[in-house]
Amino acid sequence: MPIRILSPEVVSKIAAGEVIERPASVVKELIENSIDAGASEIKVEVRQGGRRLIRVIDDGRGIPAEEVELAFERYSTSKLKDAEDLYRIATLGFRGEALPSIAAVSKVTMVTRTKEQEIGVLLRLEGGKVIKRQKKGALRGTVVSVEDLFFNTPARLKFLRKESTEARHISDLVTRYALAYPSMRFSLLSEGRTLFRSTGSGSLYDVLIEVYGLETARQMLEIAPLQEPVPSQRDPKGQGSRPKGIPREGMREEAEGLKISGYVGAPSLHRASGRYLTILINGRWVRDQLLGYAIKEAYHTLLPKGRYPVAVVRVALSPQEVDINVHPAKAEVRFRRSGEVFAAVQKAVRHTLKGAPIPVVAPPRWTPEPRLPTSLRPSPGQMALEVQRTEEIAPSKNIPPLRVLGQLGLTYIIAEGPEGMYLIDQHAAHERVLYERLLGERAKMAVSSQSLLEPLSLDLSPEEAAIVEENLDTLRSWGFDLEPFGGQTYLLRAVPAILKEGDLSQAMREVIDEASRQAGRWEEEFVISLACHGAVRAGQTMSEGEMRELVRQLEKTNSPRTCPHGRPTMIHLSAEQLQKEFGRS
C-alpha cells in the first residue's frame, strides 16, 4: 500500500485508545475535570461496570454555553495558555484530549451551567459528532453521561474484563481520588447501590476510615514532619520535649517546596498486594515505581517477606519540579530531582515508623444516659466522626472482670463491675470474640471448618460467581470448601465452624455480597461479615452459663470495647452516675 494520511476519524479513535483504555479511564478523566472545575461534591454513577453508563455530576464552575462544543474539540483546553505553562502545570488536565477522546468512542451527553448563566445547555454527541444541542434548566455545574462505551470500536470492547472487574477498577479509582481530596465529597453508585461515599470533612484520616475501615485506619500513623535542620535552643536535639499534640513548627521545607505528608500503616499492618499503597503527587494519583520502592524500602525488615504496606503518601512540590507530560493517561510523572524526592519520601516514612508513637483510637466516650441506653450507640458513621486520635491514651485494652446479672430484652447482658453497671450488647460482643478468633486461626492457617453431611448446591448470580471464582483459595483458607459444579453453580462442602447453625446458603451469599461491595478490602469485610453471621443474634435467649462464657471470652480479646464494625460492645453506667441519678451524692 502506498503511504497515506489516516482519516481524522481513524486518528481520533487511535488517540482515544491512548487515553481511554477502559471504563475506569473515563471516570478518571471526568473526575479530574470536576476537580479542576473547583467542585466540592463529585457523584459518580455507573451501570454494568461502566460499559452501559458512566455519569459524573459535579457542582463546579461549569462551561459557558458558547464554549461547550469547543470543549469536545481536540487540543482545546482552558488550562494552558502557552508552551511556558507546560512547565508549571497546576491542574490535573492540560492536554484538551479527554472529552474528545471519550466522545469518539461513546455516546456522550453533557449538561452544564455556569454561575453567570440562567439556563444551562445540553449537548449530545455520538461517536464524536454533535447530534443535539438545546437549552436546558440545570443546577450550576456539569453532568457528563457516557453511554455505550466503545460501541464503535469492537476490538476495544473485546478487551474489557468482567463487569465486576471493571466496577472494581472504578471503585478503586474513586477511593484514590477521595484520599487525594479529603475536602471534596465523593460518592460512587453502581447499579443504584452506594459503593462508597466520603464526607468531605477535610480530614484524610476520615477518608481512610471510609476507604479501609476503622480497624485498619486506627493502625495507621500520620507521617511526622521531618525535623528542622537547625535545632532550636529549647530543644537542642530537635526532638522530644515539645508537649504532645502541639504541631511542631518550622519544619524543614526542601528548597523546591518538597513536602511529604499522609499516613503509613504500622508495621503490623500489611497486605498481600501492593494495591494498598496510594502515591499522590500534587493531588494526582500516580503509579510511581520509584516512590513505591522508596516506601517499601522504608519498611525494610519491618514487614514479613512478600507483604506490602498500607499507606497514603502525599508528595507536594513546586509544579516546575515535576513533568506530568510523559504518559498518555498521566499516570506516571518524571521528577527533575528524583534522587531528592526518593530520599525525602523514604526518610519521612522511616522516621514515622521509627519515632512516632502508635496513634490509638480513644474508646468511645461512655455518656451514661440511663433512660435510653440504645440511643447511646453511635452509628458507624458517627463513630468515624467522633474518633479521636491521641497519643496519650493507651488502647482500652482491658475491661474489668464482670459478674453477669442477667439478660435484658433478649439483647443485652447486664453485668456488674468494680465501677458500676455494664450493659453488653450480646451480638456485638460475640462478633468481637468470633472476629478475633477467626483472625487468630487464620494467622495460623487453621480456621476450624465443619464438613456438611450433604453438600449444599449454590446457584450464584454472575457477579457472585465471579467473586467466588476469583477467591476460591481465600475462601478455602477461611473454612469454606466450595467446588465448581459447572456454570454459576457451586457445591458447598464445608463451612467455617462458627457458622454451624441457620441457613447456610443464605449466610454464604450475604457474606459474599457484603464483602464484594467493599472493593479493595474484600477479605477484611468478609471476616467481619462472617463473624457477624456466626454471632448470637439480638432476641436470642442466652443461659447464664452462656453469658458468663461470652463475657469471659470478651475480656480476653484485644479490643473488647468495640465490635469489628466499630460499634461499642458495652455501655457503662458508673457507680458515681448512679448515685447522682438517685440523688445520693
Q: Which of residues 281-300 bind ligand ADP (CB under 6 A)?
A: none
Q: Which stretch binds ligand ADP (CB under 6 A): 32-40, 176-184, 378-386, 443-451?
A: 32-40
Which candidate, 367, 389, 337, places its Cα nearest to that of 204? Answer: 389
Residue 577: φ, ψ to 5°: -60, -40
The site that binds ligand ADP (CB under 6 A) totals a number of residues, namely: 22
Closest to ligand ADP by CB, 89 vs 344, is 89
Instruction: Report the partner that residue 96 touches, choosing among Mg ion, ligand ADP, none (CB closer than 5 to 8 A by kind).
Output: ligand ADP
Question: Judged by CB under 6 A, does residue 34 bind ligand ADP?
Answer: yes
CB contact set of 469 (below 8 Å; sequence gap of 6+): 484
Q: Which of 20, 42, 43, 77 binds ligand ADP (CB under 6 A)?
A: 77
Question: Judged by CB under 5 A, does residue 93 bind Mg ion?
Answer: yes
Cβ atoms within 10 Å of 134's Cβ, excluding its own = 10
Instruction: State the amino acid at position 328 in one-letter form.
Output: P
Instruction: Report the partner that residue 242 touches, choosing among Mg ion, ligand ADP, none (CB closer than 5 to 8 A by kind).
Output: none
Residue 200 beta carbon to ligand ADP: minimum distance, rounded to whole angstroms: 17
Residue 324: φ, ψ to 5°: -95, -15
Residue 206 beta carbon to Mg ion: minimum distance, rounded to whole angstroms: 27
Which residue's CB atom is positioned nearest to ligand ADP?
93
Binding flags for ligand ADP, 115-134, as an x/- string (CB under 6 A): --------------------
> What distance in Å separates the CA atoms of residue 467 and residue 422, rounded to the nearest whole number?
41
Closest to ligand ADP by CB, 64 vs 380, is 64
> What distance in Å separates the CA atoms of residue 499 and residue 325, rounded to the nearest whole number?
54
CB contact set of 491 (below 8 Å; sequence gap of 6+): 455, 456, 457, 458, 482, 483, 485
Closest to ligand ADP by CB, 79 vs 197, is 79
Rounded to 5°, the CA angle 34-36-41 comes to 40
Question: Judged by CB under 5 A, does residue 25 bind Mg ion?
Answer: no
C-alpha cell at 478: 477461611
Cβ atoms within 10 Å of 402's Cβ, excluding its own = 22
Question: Judged by CB under 6 A, does residue 37 bind ligand ADP?
Answer: yes
Instruction: Report the partner that residue 360 touches, choosing among ligand ADP, Mg ion, none (CB closer than 5 to 8 A by kind).
Output: none
Instruction: Report the partner that residue 94 touches, choosing among ligand ADP, Mg ion, none (CB closer than 5 to 8 A by kind).
Output: ligand ADP
Instruction: Report the partner that residue 463 touches, choosing among ligand ADP, Mg ion, none (CB closer than 5 to 8 A by kind).
Output: none
Instruction: State the amino acid at position 392 in one-letter form.
Output: E
Asked if residue 362 lies in contact with residue 388, where contact means CB atoms within 8 angstroms, the answer is yes
Residue 201 beta carbon to Mg ion: minimum distance, rounded to whole angstroms: 26
C-alpha cell at 413: 447482658
Cβ atoms within 10 Å of 180's Cβ, excluding its own = 23
Q: Which of 15, 47, 48, 79 binds ligand ADP (CB under 6 A)?
A: 79
> What distance in Å separates the CA atoms of residue 538 and residue 483, rounded to the nearest whole number?
33
Which candidate, 378, 393, 379, 436, places its Cα nearest to that of 553? Answer: 436
Q: Which of 23, 62, 225, 378 binds ligand ADP (CB under 6 A)?
A: 62
Residue 62 beta carbon to ligand ADP: minimum distance, rounded to whole angstroms: 6
Q: Which of 17, 23, 93, 128 binds ligand ADP (CB under 6 A)?
A: 93
CB contact set of 380 (below 8 Å; sequence gap of 6+): 214, 565, 566, 567
Question: Judged by CB under 5 A, does residue 468 bind Mg ion?
Answer: no
Q: Which of 58, 59, 172, 206 binds ligand ADP (CB under 6 A)?
A: 58
Residue 35 beta carbon to ligand ADP: minimum distance, rounded to whole angstroms: 9
Q: What SS3 state is found at 359?
A: coil
Which candidate, 157, 184, 190, 185, places its Cα nearest to that of 171? Answer: 190
Instruction: Report the partner that residue 198 touches, choosing among Mg ion, ligand ADP, none (CB closer than 5 to 8 A by kind).
Output: none
Closest to ligand ADP by CB, 77 vs 516, is 77
Instruction: Report the partner that residue 280 touches, choosing among ligand ADP, Mg ion, none (CB closer than 5 to 8 A by kind).
Output: none
Identify the residue whose cell numbers are 487511535: 14
> What distance in Å separates the CA atoms of residue 381 and residue 362, rounded to the nearest whole number?
16
Question: Judged by CB under 6 A, does residue 96 bind ligand ADP?
Answer: yes
Closest to ligand ADP by CB, 99 vs 519, is 99
CB contact set of 495 (below 8 Å; sequence gap of 6+): 449, 450, 452, 479, 480, 481, 504, 507, 508
Q: Which residue ranges make up the site for Mg ion (CB under 5 A)?
A: 33, 93, 98
Q: Which residue ranges make up the site for ligand ADP (CB under 6 A)?
A: 29, 33-34, 37, 58, 60-63, 71, 76-79, 93-99, 142
